[in-house]
A and B are shown apart, each in its own frame.
Chain A
Amino acid sequence: MMPPNNFKTQPYQERLAKHLVSADEAVPRDMSSMIYEGGVSIDGRLSIYRHNVVGGLEDVILKRFPSLVPLVGKEFAQAMARAYIYEYPPETGNLNDYAANYPDFVRAFKPAQEILFLADVAHIENNEHRAYYAEFVSPLTINNLAEYAGGLEEGDILLDLHPATQLMVSDYPALDIRNYAQKDDETAQAPQVVGDLQHFYCTARQDMRVSTYEITHEEYIFLERVSELKQLNRALQETINMTKNFDFTKTWQNFLKYQIFIVKNEKAGTNEKNSK
């Protein structure tokens, strides 16, 4: 049963919530009659809450997208995060889900539009965050492959991407840029940012570690086909039809190592997505 509603103090809380996540720092006039000054003005008192609310969310975003700070500088990264907070204040108390659309915001953020690769770097970090918090499901690995190999070949057992697996395409070497941004070594060579070649990335979780790998176009197509068709043979056949140089054996070994897949036993009517 839903709890009953009560609107008696709602207007005050609504005004204060709006004030604290708004770019306009002027305190609503009618609020001043509600709060004792006692040596510190109401502006001064509310500035503590504003600092806690906006500063706390800023920290969440800067920690979630750590490579943006070395790429654009702390001041710019903070200003961009603040602009996001004012436009998209959190809607729940679960901050793990907050700022999921930040890469899209960065892409549309006018002051950052000259930094063409920035949104894609944010996208990689967002994918890694999603992989970190994804549901734990037993992956298909080299150790349990024998159990499913026949069924996978026959199409009785369905294949899917692991909930932690994330795919993306970038017109820039976004992963190299991200790795360069995170290097402490000042002599490290900056990657060449040329926007004429597509890069394909797969983020995966191996046990308790999340990593992003650059994969080939053919591997990307194969993973997309698996996600769409759920059958190994059909995905493989379509990939071969769509590409010229697909080295399935090497790809399959790597993907098993990265723990990219799960299996579902459709024939037996049971789901092999054993949550652990």
Chain B
Amino acid sequence: MGVGLRHPHYRQIIEDPPTEKVSWLEVHPENYFGGGINYKFLEKIREDFPISFHGVGLSLGSAQPVNVDHVQQLKKLIDLIEPFQFSDHAAWSMSGNAHLNDLMPLAYTDDNLDNLCRNIDYVQNTLGQQILIENPSTYMRFTQDEMTEWEFLNSLVSRSECALLLDINNIVVQAKNHGFSAHEYIDNINFNAVKEMHLAGYTKREIEGQTLYLDTHGEKVHKDVWQLFEYTMSRYSAVHTLIEWDNDIPSLDVLFEEAKKAKSIIDQTKERRCMQNDAAE
């Protein structure tokens, strides 16, 4: 189990590394571009924990090419910190000279699949390693959609040889916002390509009398996300799993409790699957 490493926890993690409560940490690499004090903290923390990079700035879904300077900064940081995994999103943020600092939704079309594959190929070739692509949370759907989200992601995997980061919270948010079955998503996603999972909390917001579910990463993991996680683990073997929390960041103990809960679900479902397999034999 891993947790997202955020600035308020640097000193505590360095002073008393919680190696028994969590086995790896994930960071947004953009926070460490250019060096400085944050980088020094990360350099120290990596002595005790494997680190994974979860990018938020590549804008892989942009119609325009990725920012070459951004990729170079990322490469430099990867060479220094040597993360065991690197991920970014099936989304776009950059258009022209404006970078939106948010993950904008893509229409699920062949054109956008082409764009995403082109940018992923460039990044994978430049970094010399496979990227994991995270499924998004979105608040609008496009009239041009030509396929479901899981079909889009499965095609992406087969065309670009990237892997997937499956955010279980995002699937719940998508299913609620756009009215499809989260279980159908799990049943149909190419889980062989999934190398990491995220668990996080969403927030409900009333807009024009309707409830929309926002991927805020500011609360504990909700019951329906835990249930979908359990369903996923009942079907597939566990991969690296992370508790992600970016807003109103709580104490590390809260994150560790969430990680412990996830670990317990992984262990219980694994045991059940083993018993079922034994019974079948």
Interface residues of A (CB under 8 A from B): 2-10, 13-14, 16-18, 20-21, 33-36, 38-42, 44-49, 52-53, 56-57, 60, 89-97, 132-136, 205, 208, 210
Tell me whether B96 and A17 are in contact (CB under 8 A): yes
Nearest chain B CB to A145 CB, angstrom units: 23
Does B274 touch A at the CB level, under 8 Å? Answer: no
Does B192 touch A at the CB level, under 8 Å? Answer: no
Tell me whether B63 and A45 are in contact (CB under 8 A): no
Q: List 11 A-B contacts (CB under 8 A).
A: A8-B115, A10-B95, A17-B94, A20-B102, A36-B143, A48-B205, A96-B31, A96-B36, A134-B36, A136-B40, A208-B41
Asked whether A94 and B36 contact (CB < 8 A) given A2-B68, A13-B62, A36-B143, the answer is: no
Tell me whether A93 and B67 are in contact (CB under 8 A): yes
Residues of chain A within 8 A (CB-CB) of B95 are 10, 13-14, 16-17
Asked whether A96 and B34 contact (CB < 8 A) given A3-B118, A8-B63, A44-B208, the answer is: yes
Q: A41 CA to B140 CA in the complex, in Å?
A: 10
Tell me whether A3 and B97 are in contact (CB under 8 A): no
Among B17-58, those with CB < 8 Å from A are 30-31, 33-41, 56-58
Residues of chain A within 8 A (CB-CB) of B119 are 3
Instruction: Apart from A45-B207, A94-B57, list 4 A-B contacts with CB within 8 A.
Output: A9-B112, A20-B102, A34-B142, A93-B101
Partner of A36, one of B33, B38, B66, B140: B140
Q: A45 CA to B39 CA in the complex, in Å?
A: 37
Nearest chain B CB to A32 CB, angstrom units: 10
Tell me whether B212 and A16 are in contact (CB under 8 A): no
Tell me whether A6 and B118 are in contact (CB under 8 A): yes
Most buried by A among B35, B58, B141, B179: B35
Q: A45 CA to B119 CA in the complex, in Å?
A: 27
Residues of chain A within 8 A (CB-CB) of B62 are 13
Among B157-205, those with CB < 8 Å from A are 178-179, 205
Residues of chain A within 8 A (CB-CB) of B58 are 93
Tell me whether B114 and A6 are in contact (CB under 8 A): yes
Closest 10 CB pairs of A and B: A93-B57, A133-B36, A17-B95, A3-B122, A10-B63, A3-B65, A13-B95, A9-B63, A45-B140, A89-B98
Does B222 touch A at the CB level, under 8 Å? Answer: no
Q: A208 CA to B39 CA in the complex, in Å?
A: 11
CB-nearest residue of chain A to B44:
A208
Q: A208 CA to B88 CA in the complex, in Å?
A: 30
Residues of chain B within 8 A (CB-CB) of A91 are 97-99
Does B144 touch A at the CB level, under 8 Å? Answer: yes
Asked whether A93 and B214 contact (CB < 8 A) given A16-B104, A36-B143, A48-B139, the answer is: no
Asked whether A89 and B99 contact (CB < 8 A) given A42-B140, A45-B139, A47-B207, the answer is: yes
Nearest chain A CB to B54 CB, angstrom units: 13
Partner of B35, one of A16, A89, A95, A136: A136
B134-163, CB under 8 A of A: which get 1 and which 0? 000001111110000000000000000000
Partner of B100, one of A9, A45, A47, A53: A53
Nearest chain B CB to A163 CB, angstrom units: 9
Tell me whether A94 and B34 are in contact (CB under 8 A): yes
Among B59-104, those with CB < 8 Å from A are 59, 62-70, 73, 92-102, 104
Nearest chain B CB to A83 CB, angstrom units: 16
Residues of chain B within 8 A (CB-CB) of A3 are 65-66, 118-119, 121-122
Q: A5 CA to B114 CA in the complex, in Å?
A: 11
Q: A33 CA to B212 CA in the complex, in Å?
A: 21
Tell me whether A90 and B101 are in contact (CB under 8 A): yes
Most buried by A among B68, B98, B101, B214: B101
CB-nearest residue of chain B to A20:
B100
